[in-house]
Structure 1
Amino acid sequence: MAERTRTARGREAAGIAADSAGGAGGQDGGRAARESLLHGGILLRPCWVPCPSDPGLRGMHGAWSCRPREMLLYLTGMWCCLYFLATLLMMTYKSQVFSYPRDYLVLDLTLLLLMGILEATRLYFGTKGNLMEAEVPLAASLVLTAGSALLSLYFLLWQTLVLWADVVLSATLLALHSLEAVLQVVAIASFVS
């Protein structure tokens, strides 16, 4: 019994549901995540962690859950980091090898920095809205997704020098943004109804 209580407390501390019969009150992972977010902290649960708070997984120990929005937010976050670094390196390369006008280089670097700030804010609101199951942060993330998609469209079509690597990176980012926007709209609709 003492071992079971220690395990339940450890799962509560991690934000995962204490779903044992004699546990600490059956607090679910969504509630723990909401409380953590309300207190100013962000509880990030990777998509490969067991999720007993899902209705389909109650009583199924050892089952693994992966919500599509969580997985896509994680994947998009990793891709945005790669995109930012690769685009910065390509701008450095283009400024050294090609004749890249200084004014346009400053504009492209400023837009890339703005895109990085938008992406970080968008991912924060998307994660917060996903964990809290709230439509306002998800709507804010959806608006920021549109802005970030416009900036990636700029880097795909209208930047000063567009290399084939720019096309591949920007097209992949646009595809991820499109899929994420669709899932956010579906999530907002399900939270409202």
Structure 2
Amino acid sequence: MQPGTARARPVLTSLPLQVFIYFGGWWDVLFWLISIVVFIYKGSTLPYPNGRFAAEFVFLWLWLLVEPVRLFLGSKGNKTEQPGPLLFSLLLALPVVAFLVYYMRFQTFV
């Protein structure tokens, strides 16, 4: 190696992960907007039990708070090649998965 030249370091970032994070953000926007419209329709036309509509609506807002943070940390960890943000992003994926499973299987009117 010649003096003054930097040693090449392998690139650890993942292009497929970054593509999934990017399009996942757009999917999240679309999913959330459709969900809000559907909830407004269901809340005005269907007979929800006491407290169930409010709980499901709050879950949707909680999902909106967690998901952008998860995507940001995943993107940051991927671009900077740091495991901390990626691990925290994976940790935040647990409540997101729980919300999505709830909306697919356990909500009052699917």
Q: TM-score range by the shorter chain?
A: 0.7 to 0.9
Q: 1:87 aligns with which of 23, 29, 35?
A: 35
CA shift for structure 1 position 105:
1.0
Task: Give the 4+ runs in structure 1 shifted more than 3 A.
Answer: none
1:129 and 2:77 matched: yes
Structure-to-structure mapping, 1:41-120, within 5 angstroms: 67-120=15-68
Q: 1:146 aligns with which of 90, 94, 101?
A: 94
> Equivalents in 2 of 1:104, 1:116: separation in Å?
19
Deviations 1:80-133 (A, max 9, x none): 111111111101111122112351111011110000111011011011101111
Deviations 1:120-172 (A, max 9, x none): 1101101110111110000000011121011100010111110xxxxxxxxxx
SS state of the match for residue 51, structure 2? helix
> Equivalents in 1 of 2:43, 2:94: separation in Å?
29
Tell me what 1:186 maps to: none
Query: Any stretches of 5+ residues in structure 2 without a counterpart?
Result: 1-5
| Percent identical residues | 29
Report the residue type matching 2:105 in the other structure.
Answer: L
Give the TM-score, by structure 1 length.
0.49
Give the TM-score, by structure 2 length.
0.84
Q: Which has the higher helix share?
A: 2
Query: Any stretches of 5+ residues in structure 1 without a counterpart?
Result: 1-25, 27-53, 55-65, 163-193
Tell me what 1:174 maps to: none
Larger Rg: 1
| Larger relative contact order, structure 1 or 2 (CA cutoff 8 Å, min sep 6) | 2
Task: Count residues in correspondence.
Answer: 100
